[in-house]
Amino acid sequence: MAKVPSAVVAAGGLVGGYGVARWTKKRQLGGAVLAVAGAAAARQWRERAGGAAAGALTATYVVAFAGSHPLAERVGAWPAVFGVAGVVGAAAWVVADRRG
Protein backbone atom coordinates (compact mmCIF):
# COMPACT_ATOMS: atom_id res chain seq x y z
CA MET A 1 0.00 0.00 0.00
CA ALA A 2 1.40 3.39 -0.97
CA LYS A 3 1.93 5.91 1.80
CA VAL A 4 0.45 9.35 1.62
CA PRO A 5 3.35 11.82 1.26
CA SER A 6 4.15 13.68 4.46
CA ALA A 7 3.73 16.96 2.60
CA VAL A 8 0.07 16.08 1.99
CA VAL A 9 -0.44 14.97 5.59
CA ALA A 10 1.07 18.17 7.02
CA ALA A 11 -0.64 20.58 4.64
CA GLY A 12 -3.89 18.66 5.06
CA GLY A 13 -3.58 18.91 8.83
CA LEU A 14 -3.32 22.69 8.68
CA VAL A 15 -6.19 23.09 6.23
CA GLY A 16 -8.31 20.36 7.80
CA GLY A 17 -7.74 21.60 11.34
CA TYR A 18 -8.88 25.07 10.43
CA GLY A 19 -11.83 23.78 8.43
CA VAL A 20 -13.03 21.52 11.24
CA ALA A 21 -12.67 24.31 13.81
CA ARG A 22 -14.52 26.77 11.62
CA TRP A 23 -17.37 24.54 10.52
CA THR A 24 -18.01 22.82 13.85
CA LYS A 25 -17.34 25.99 15.89
CA LYS A 26 -15.25 23.77 18.20
CA ARG A 27 -11.66 24.97 18.25
CA GLN A 28 -10.59 21.97 20.33
CA LEU A 29 -11.78 19.58 17.62
CA GLY A 30 -9.83 21.50 14.99
CA GLY A 31 -6.81 21.43 17.29
CA ALA A 32 -7.14 17.65 17.57
CA VAL A 33 -7.10 17.32 13.78
CA LEU A 34 -4.06 19.60 13.63
CA ALA A 35 -2.24 17.61 16.34
CA VAL A 36 -2.99 14.16 14.90
CA ALA A 37 -1.86 15.18 11.41
CA GLY A 38 1.24 16.86 12.84
CA ALA A 39 2.16 13.75 14.81
CA ALA A 40 1.63 11.51 11.77
CA ALA A 41 3.74 13.79 9.59
CA ALA A 42 6.48 14.00 12.23
CA ARG A 43 6.66 10.21 12.37
CA GLN A 44 7.07 10.07 8.60
CA TRP A 45 9.68 12.83 8.68
CA ARG A 46 11.71 10.96 11.29
CA GLU A 47 11.53 7.71 9.26
CA ARG A 48 12.41 9.35 5.95
CA ALA A 49 14.83 12.13 6.85
CA GLY A 50 16.04 11.55 10.43
CA GLY A 51 15.50 13.20 13.78
CA ALA A 52 17.06 16.58 13.08
CA ALA A 53 15.01 17.08 9.92
CA ALA A 54 11.87 15.90 11.72
CA GLY A 55 12.50 18.42 14.49
CA ALA A 56 13.01 21.24 12.02
CA LEU A 57 9.90 20.34 10.03
CA THR A 58 7.82 19.98 13.19
CA ALA A 59 8.97 23.43 14.29
CA THR A 60 8.03 24.75 10.83
CA TYR A 61 4.56 23.19 11.21
CA VAL A 62 4.01 24.81 14.62
CA VAL A 63 5.36 28.21 13.53
CA ALA A 64 3.19 28.08 10.40
CA PHE A 65 0.11 27.40 12.50
CA ALA A 66 0.93 30.26 14.86
CA GLY A 67 1.89 32.56 12.00
CA SER A 68 -1.35 31.97 10.16
CA HIS A 69 -3.24 33.91 12.82
CA PRO A 70 -1.59 37.34 12.34
CA LEU A 71 -1.34 36.69 8.60
CA ALA A 72 -5.12 36.12 8.51
CA GLU A 73 -5.66 39.67 9.75
CA ARG A 74 -3.91 40.95 6.63
CA VAL A 75 -5.05 38.59 3.89
CA GLY A 76 -8.04 36.71 5.30
CA ALA A 77 -8.35 33.39 7.07
CA TRP A 78 -8.49 30.95 4.18
CA PRO A 79 -5.69 32.59 2.15
CA ALA A 80 -3.51 32.56 5.26
CA VAL A 81 -4.21 28.90 5.97
CA PHE A 82 -3.60 27.87 2.35
CA GLY A 83 -0.42 29.96 2.26
CA VAL A 84 1.16 28.43 5.35
CA ALA A 85 -0.01 24.96 4.30
CA GLY A 86 1.76 25.47 0.99
CA VAL A 87 4.97 26.51 2.71
CA VAL A 88 4.90 23.53 5.07
CA GLY A 89 4.00 21.14 2.27
CA ALA A 90 6.82 22.42 0.08
CA ALA A 91 9.33 22.18 2.92
CA ALA A 92 8.23 18.63 3.74
CA TRP A 93 8.50 17.60 0.12
CA VAL A 94 11.98 19.07 -0.28
CA VAL A 95 13.35 17.67 2.98
CA ALA A 96 11.60 14.31 3.29
CA ASP A 97 9.39 13.25 0.39
CA ARG A 98 11.26 13.83 -2.86
CA ARG A 99 13.84 11.18 -2.07
CA GLY A 100 11.46 8.30 -2.27
pLDDT in tens, 60-95: 999 999 999 999 999 999 999 999 999 999 999 999
- In angstroms, the Cα distances linking 2 to 5, 29, 83, 84 are 9, 28, 27, 26
The closest of 49, 74, 75 to 10, measured between CA atoms, is: 49
pLDDT digits (tens, 9 = 90+) for 7-41: 999 999 999 999 999 999 999 999 999 999 999 99
Quote the pTM value.
Answer: 0.94
